[in-house]
Amino acid sequence: MTSFLRYLVIRVFYFFLTIFTAFSITYLLLRLMPVNAVENAIAQITAQGQVYDPQALITLRRQLYELFGLTGSPTDQYLRFLRSVFSLDFGPSIMAFPTPVMELIHRALPWTIGLLLFSVIISWVVGNILGILSAIREGSWVSRILQGVAVTLHPLPYYVFALALIFLFAYLIPLFPLTGSSVYIERISIDVIIGIIRNATLPALSIIIVSALGWWFLSSRTLTIRILGEDYVEYAILRGIPWRRIYRDYISRNIMMPQITALGLALGTVFSGAVITEALFAYPGLGILLFRAVSTGDFSTALGIVSLSIYGVAIGTLILDIIYPLIDPRVRHR
């Protein structure tokens, strides 16, 4: 128990250290970017050719710097930033001034979680099942076909696959809408729910198919094949232990360890969204919000979203670190 407590304390310490380091690096990177929110705002006016008094433009520039809070020394801004990441209050956004950053994130978050959470979990489940079955039937037609598909899909950028899905199922055979949020919601009803699912299907499929038949399939298949070749498995087979028990007690637990670790890390990155998927499908999630925030110089919003991602990954890792000793006796013994 004492050793477990010690283990826990160390893990929690590393958790806070990771968070602090990640936030600081993020802050520095964003601040070093040559993007300026005020110039972007003024460019919106001038690039369209709008008639604007030149003297007034000079005044507007000064006013915007004050309005957006882009004043103060770098140290002041850094301390303000640290306060905000721990209080989760990032102030007003700049690109949607003065809407608070957290309001923008709350608006985009359900879309991202709804898409990515389910996509990641489904692709994990499907990929692992197919990988294990393929390993069991090593050499069969099905296994070979699945391998071929996986090896082909794995290096394929998911957005290329997404474009193919759009062309096939939103244009040629219009089973799905072209826009990612093409649902008219007057009140929640079965039709609306079906509409939301329809809207999310193509973006989800583009992620699921490539992930499931890509990384998850290949990794679980490889692990299963390796474990099937282990002495203890061979001994269990020779002893006549039923296959069900072999897979449950000897193989699956050894496969699931690394796969659950990878799942935990993948779930943590859900909060950063999937920029290209969201851009392609006009899906209003955190990814596209982050992209806009960075390109318009809205540091507050960008920091808010990245902070969520940092928290997600760090907390996911911490949880995994805590449950590992409970699952893996080797870790417990160490």
Q: Which of residues 157-186 bind other proteins (CB under 8 A)?
A: 163, 166-167, 170-174, 176-186
- What is the closest distance, in whole angstroms, from the C-beta atom of residue 137 to other proteins in the complex? 7
Q: Is 197 in the site for other proteins (CB under 8 A)?
A: no
Which range of residues in 70-78, 81-89, 132-140, 229-237 is near other proteins by CB under 8 A? 132-140
Q: Is 253 in the site for other proteins (CB under 8 A)?
A: no
Strand partners of residue 100: 92
The vertex-276 CA angle with 108 and 92, nearest 5°, equals 35
- What is the closest distance, in whole angstroms, from the C-beta atom of residue 93 to other proteins in the complex? 7
Using CA atoms, how far apart are residues 230 and 240, in angstroms rounded to an integer? 16
Token pair, residue 213, equals 């038949």
**How many residues of this chain interact with other proteins, rule: CB under 8 A?**
94
- What is the closest distance, in whole angstroms, from the C-beta atom of residue 272 to other proteins in the complex? 16
- What is the closest distance, in whole angstroms, from the C-beta atom of residue 179 to other proteins in the complex? 5
Q: Which of 18, 24, 40, 254 binds other proteins (CB under 8 A)?
A: 40
* Helix, strand, coil share of the chain (percent; to 5): 80, 0, 20
- The smaller minimum CB distance to other proteins, of residues 131 and 268, is found at 131
- The smaller minimum CB distance to other proteins, of residues 1 and 32, is found at 32
Q: Which residues contact 280 (CB under 8 A, 6 or more apart)?
A: 159, 162, 163, 166, 203, 206
Number of H helices, E strands in the chain: 17, 0
Which range of residues in 20-28, 69-77, 101-109, 148-156 is near other proteins by CB under 8 A? 101-109
- The smaller minimum CB distance to other proteins, of residues 57 and 323, is found at 57
Q: Helix 286-295 and helix 299-327: axis angle, to 10°?
A: 140
Decide if 94 contacts 300 (C-beta within 8 A).
yes
What residues from 201 to 240 belong to the interface with other proteins (CB under 8 A)? none
Q: Which of 113, 269, 292, 331 binds other proteins (CB under 8 A)?
A: 292
Using CA atoms, how far apart are residues 49 and 59, in angstroms rounded to an integer? 19
Decide if 122 contacts 281 (C-beta within 8 A).
no
Q: Which of 111, 216, 217, 271 binds other proteins (CB under 8 A)?
A: 111
- What is the closest distance, in whole angstroms, from the C-beta atom of residue 149 to other proteins in the complex? 12
Output the CA torsion sign for 196, 197, 201, 203.
positive
Decide if 249 contacts 237 (C-beta within 8 A).
no
- The smaller minimum CB distance to other proteins, of residues 17 and 163, is found at 163
Q: Is 141 in the site for other proteins (CB under 8 A)?
A: yes
Using CA atoms, how far apart are residues 266 and 261, in angstroms rounded to an integer? 9
Residue in this structure with the two tokens 């209080």, named with its chain if needed? 87
- What is the closest distance, in whole angstroms, from the C-beta atom of residue 223 to other proteins in the complex? 13
DSSP secondary structure code for residue 92 in this structure: B
What residues from 67 to 96 belong to the interface with other proteins (CB under 8 A)? 67, 93-96
What residues from 301 to 330 belong to the interface with other proteins (CB under 8 A)? 301
- The smaller minimum CB distance to other proteins, of residues 94 and 218, is found at 94
- The smaller minimum CB distance to other proteins, of residues 184 and 333, is found at 184
